[in-house]
């Protein structure tokens, strides 16, 4: 009787194990169990299917006898992630990376949790390629929206130096005809100055409109970023009767490692939001936005501070969430600040909010 009960329990356990295995093998994500020696202890069917072409004729049941990186170790972001995970004292870690699988670029979100006193880990991976594509499209749409918003002011900014150039061209012809070379050279210098101004405007728009999805961080002149910000925000500042006061505490030739167009996008968004906040401010005070650039602990801080009505405390924790907006549907998508936060994170930095009834401060931190 005891043997019969024992066999029954074993049978039930076997059925439960098979059921769990079926569940794990049918999950729409990869699951693997790895030890501290980076050996695969077990993997689910989804992970085997993911690498079926690379596995070739190898028996897929022997996948679990391999080590992480047996297909490719050099330049393998998953190998780097797992190696670092077991070297650190963290119980949990996650990362998002892109890698080439069978000639197709895939983006994965991977999460790892240790067990057995940190000697083993269960690792779950999700294919977020489509989500990444959608995110990139939203980012592109937001950039285009921003360019469209700036276009009227930019056209005006280009027309001014263009008119100067056209007028001076006629005057130079007259100066040459009257043999007044000195005046001609002075006017040529003026044309050169106006041409440089137009180039700055065009470069600012190009940087803003460029697809920076896979752009590398490059040393960029802070002075150049400031010049482009001044030009690209000028029209909106005038529209909202707001003054922008810039204080750069760093050296004139200071640089930061960044994607230029993305930093410009963040700062234009923050300054634009401050301008719009003044619309609900019914006081007669002067509308002022301060852009303060300083160094703190080896990091560059861009502080955008306004003296507007502030952001209510009850919505401050939602302000960076996608699709959350305090504006009318016609005025905004609710993606601006969320994208700004993401850009800061891509730069290994952050975007912080401080707000009260006396105004709002956003601080963009770039290492």
Report pLDDT digits (tens) over 236-289.
888 888 999 999 999 989 999 998 888 988 898 899 888 888 875 556 678 999
Look at 51-60, 79-88, 103-112, 250-259 and tell me which has the smallest mean pLDDT: 51-60
Predicted confidence (pLDDT) at residue 211 exceeds the cutoff of 80: no
**Integer Cα distance of 11 and 20 in angstroms:** 14
The CATH-assigned architecture of domain 26-127 is: 2-Layer Sandwich (3.30)
Rg, the chain, Cα only: 29
Q: 133-366 has which CATH code? A: 3.30.565.10
pLDDT per position as a tens digit, 123-176: 999 888 887 777 777 667 666 666 666 666 566 667 667 776 777 777 787 777
* 111 within 8 A of 124, measured Cβ to Cβ: yes
Q: Which residue has the higher pLDDT, 330 or 227?
A: 227
Q: Which part of the chain has CATH 3.30.450.20?
A: 26-127
Higher pLDDT, 341 or 59: 341
Q: Which residue has the higher pLDDT, 43 or 364?
A: 364
b/e code 292-329 from CB counts within 10 Å (16+ = b): bbeeeeeebbbbbbbbbbbbeeeeeeebbeeeebbeee
Structure-model confidence comparison of residues 182 and 65, the more confident one: 182
Between residues 280 and 361, the one the model is more confident about: 361
pLDDT at 313 (0 to 100): 80
- What pLDDT is attached to residue 19? 64
Residues of the chain with CATH 3.30.565.10: 133-366
What is the 8-class DSSP label of residue 27? S
Please tell me the least confidently modeled range out of 164-173, 191-200, 326-335: 326-335
Greatest mean pLDDT range, 124-138, 315-329, 347-361? 347-361
Question: Residue 29 in 3-state DSSP?
Answer: coil
Structure confidence at residue 325 as a pLDDT band (50, 70, 90)? low
Confidence of residue 96 (pLDDT cuts 50, 70, 90): confident
The pLDDT value given to residue 243: 93
Ranges 56-60, 99-103, 297-301: which has the least confidence: 56-60
Q: 353: which residues sit within 8 A by CB, 6+ positions away?
A: 311, 316, 319, 320, 360, 361, 362
Selected residue with higher pLDDT from 362 and 185: 362
Q: What are phi and psi of 110, to 5 degrees?
A: -120, 135
């Amino acid at each position: 009787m005891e043997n019969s009960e024992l066999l029954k329990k074993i049978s039930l356990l076997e059925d439960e194990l098979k059921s769990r295995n079926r569940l794990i093998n049918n999950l729409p994500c990869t699951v693997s169990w790895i030890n501290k020696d980076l050996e695969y202890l077990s993997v689910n069917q989804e992970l085997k299917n993911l690498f079926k072409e690379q596995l070739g004729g190898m028996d897929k049941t022997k996948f679990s006898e391999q080590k992480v990186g047996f297909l490719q170790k050099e330049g393998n972001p998953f190998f780097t992630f797992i190696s670092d995970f077991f070297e650190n004292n963290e119980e949990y870690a996650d990362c998002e990376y892109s890698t080439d699988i069978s000639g197709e670029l895939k983006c994965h979100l991977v999460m790892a949790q240790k067990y057995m006193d940190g000697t083993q880990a269960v690792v779950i991976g999700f294919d977020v390629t489509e989500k990444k594509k959608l995110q990139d499209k939203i980012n592109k749409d937001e950039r285009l929206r921003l360019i469209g918003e700036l276009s009227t002011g930019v056209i005006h900014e280009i027309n001014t130096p263009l008119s100067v150039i056209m007028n001076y061209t006629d005057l130079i012809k007259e100066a040459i005809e009257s043999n007044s070379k000195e005046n001609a050279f002075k006017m040529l210098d003026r044309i050169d100055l106006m041409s440089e101004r137009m180039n700055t405007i065009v470069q600012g728009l190009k940087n803003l409109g460029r697809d920076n999805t896979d752009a590398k961080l490059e040393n960029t002149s802070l002075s150049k970023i400031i010049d482009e910000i001044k030009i690209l925000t000028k029209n909106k500042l005038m529209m909202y009767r707001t003054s922008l006061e810039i204080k750069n505490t760093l050296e004139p030739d200071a640089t930061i490692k960044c994607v230029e167009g993305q930093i410009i996008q963040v700062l234009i968004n923050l300054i634009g939001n401050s301008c719009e906040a003044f619309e609900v401010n019914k006081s007669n005070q002067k509308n002022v936005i301060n852009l303060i650039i300083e160094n703190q602990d080896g990091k560059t801080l861009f502080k955008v501070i306004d003296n507007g009505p502030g952001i209510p405390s009850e919505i401050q924790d939602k302000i960076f969430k996608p699709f959350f907006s305090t504006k009318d549907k016609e005025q905004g998508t609710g993606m601006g600040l969320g994208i700004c936060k993401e850009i800061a994170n891509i730069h290994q930095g952050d975007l912080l909010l401080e707000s009260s009834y006396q105004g709002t401060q956003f601080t963009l931190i770039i290492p």
